C-alpha cells in the first residue's frame, strides 16, 4: 500500500466493511472527528462504503450510533452505499476492516488499484483485523481498534508528507 502525497486535492480515504453500517461508518466518523480537532479539514476527506449489498440504504447500526454518542464523536450523516469500481480512481487510500473486506475490495476495484488497498490496522503497531460487532456485539472493542487505526493512519500520513 502506498501513500501518495503530491496532490492538488484533499487526501481522500475510503473505509470499507461488509455492510457499511457498523465498522466503516464508525471509522469515517472517528476519522472525521480527528480531522476536525487536528485542524485538517480540507486536507483530508473521508467516506465509507460496503463490500456487499446486504444493508444498502440503511443507517448505521444502533450499536455504532450509541458507541459514538457515548464517546462524544459526531456521527457523519450516512446511509450505507456499495463500493463501486469508480471508487478506485476517486480515492487515494481504500481501507478494509479485515482480510475478507480487502479481498472483496480488490475484486470490485480490480488489480490496478490494489496498491491503494489495505486494512485500517495496518497503520497500528499490531496490524490485525477489526472484528465485526454485528457478530461479536462488542462495539467497545471495535471503537478501540478503530481509534487506534485512525491515530496510526494520521501519523503515517504526516510522516509521508501527505498532510
Encode pLDDT of 110-120 as tens digits.
Answer: 999 999 999 99
Please report which confidence band the pLDDT of residue 7 belongs to, taking 50, 70 and 90 as the band edges. low
Quote the number of domains for the chain.
1
pLDDT digits (tens, 9 = 90+) for 12-55: 999 999 999 999 999 999 999 999 999 999 999 999 999 999 99
| Residue 43 structural domain | 11-156
Alpha-carbon distance of 56 to 79, in angstroms, equals: 7
Put residue 120 in one of left, alpha, beta given phi > 0 → left and psi -120 to 50 → alpha. alpha
Q: How far is CA 53 from the centre of its chain?
A: 17
Q: Is residue 27 part of a domain?
A: yes
Going through 28-163 in order, the beta strands assigned E by DSSP cover 44-50, 93-96, 117-119
CATH number, domain with residue 69: 3.40.50.2300
Alpha-carbon distance of 45 to 85, in angstroms, equals: 19
Residue 161, pLDDT score: 85
Residue 2, pLDDT score: 62
The pLDDT of 95-121, averaged and rounded, is 97
Instruction: Judge contact between 109 and 16, C-beta under 8 A.
Output: no
Q: Is residue 96 part of a domain?
A: yes
Beta-carbon neighbour count of residue 5 at 10 Å? 12
The pLDDT of 104-129, averaged and rounded, is 96
Alpha-carbon distance of 22 to 54, in angstroms, equals: 12
Q: Is residue 3 part of a domain?
A: no
Q: Is residue 123 part of a domain?
A: yes
Residue 160, pLDDT score: 87
The residues near 25 (Cβ < 8 Å, ≥ 6 apart) are 15, 48, 60, 64, 75, 76, 78, 80
In the predicted model, is pLDDT for residue 6 greater than 60? no
Q: Is residue 162 part of a domain?
A: no
Would you name the residues annotated as active-site residues?
17, 23, 132
Amino acid at each position: 500500500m502506498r501513500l501518495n502525497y503530491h496532490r492538488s486535492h484533499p487526501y481522500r480515504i475510503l473505509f470499507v466493511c461488509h455492510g457499511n453500517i457498523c465498522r466503516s461508518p464508525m471509522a469515517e466518523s472517528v476519522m472525521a472527528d480527528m480531522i476536525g480537532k487536528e485542524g485538517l479539514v480540507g486536507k483530508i476527506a473521508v467516506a465509507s462504503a460496503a463490500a456487499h449489498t446486504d444493508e444498502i440504504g440503511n443507517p448505521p447500526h444502533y450499536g455504532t450510533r450509541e458507541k459514538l454518542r457515548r464517546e462524544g464523536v459526531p456521527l457523519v450523516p450516512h446511509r450505507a452505499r456499495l463500493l463501486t469500481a469508480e471508487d478506485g480512481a476517486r480515492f487515494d487510500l481504500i481501507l478494509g476492516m479485515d482480510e475478507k473486506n480487502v479481498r472483496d475490495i480488490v475484486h470490485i476495484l480490480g488489480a490496478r488499484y490494489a496498491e491503494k488497498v489495505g486494512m485500517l490496522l495496518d497503520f497500528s503497531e499490531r496490524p490485525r483485523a477489526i472484528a465485526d460487532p454485528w457478530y461479536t456485539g462488542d462495539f467497545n472493542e471495535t471503537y478501540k481498534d478503530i481509534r487506534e487505526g485512525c491515530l496510526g493512519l494520521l501519523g503515517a500520513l504526516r510522516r509521508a508528507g501527505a498532510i
